[in-house]
Amino acid sequence: AQTVTQSQPEMSVQEAETVTLSCTYDTSESDYYLFWYKQPPSRQMILVIRQEAYKQQNATENRFSVNFQKAAKSFSLKISDSQLGDAAMYFCAYSRPGNTGKLIFGQGTTLQVKP
């Protein structure tokens, strides 16, 4: 069975600084998708970034980028130039390529952004 682990329950960053959130996962499959979702107090899960395992290039979306280490089964999220609006709970998630609606989530990391 696949598992996703986030070992940092809470992180904090100063506004405009950079922060990295960690995620490790376990799977015996060679092809899969990895995601980072943001959940603000509004509770709606918002997709931040997605990485396909077959792609060696790390995904980037504006200020958000990932460091995907397939052999190490590590998938960290880097947030550059942190903004107050980035404060939220962040979840790492895994899915098979054929079904992105069946997500396996980590426990989450609460990110605090200090002005």
Figure out which of the listed residues 25, 34, 66, 106 binds other proteins, where binding follows CB under 8 A.
106
Of 34-53, binders to other proteins (CB under 8 A) are 42-47, 50
Report CA-CA distances (Å) from 31 to 67, 91, 115.
17, 20, 40
Residue 40: which residues within 8 A CB-CB, separation 6 or more? 46, 87, 88, 89
CA distance linking residue 15 with residue 115, whole number of Å? 5
Q: Which is nearer to other proteins, 11 or 45 (CB)?
A: 45
Task: Give the interface size with other proteins as a residue count (CB under 8 A).
Answer: 23
Of 86-105, binders to other proteins (CB under 8 A) are 91, 93, 97-105
Give the residues lining the site for other proteins (CB under 8 A): 4, 6, 42-47, 50, 91, 93, 97-108
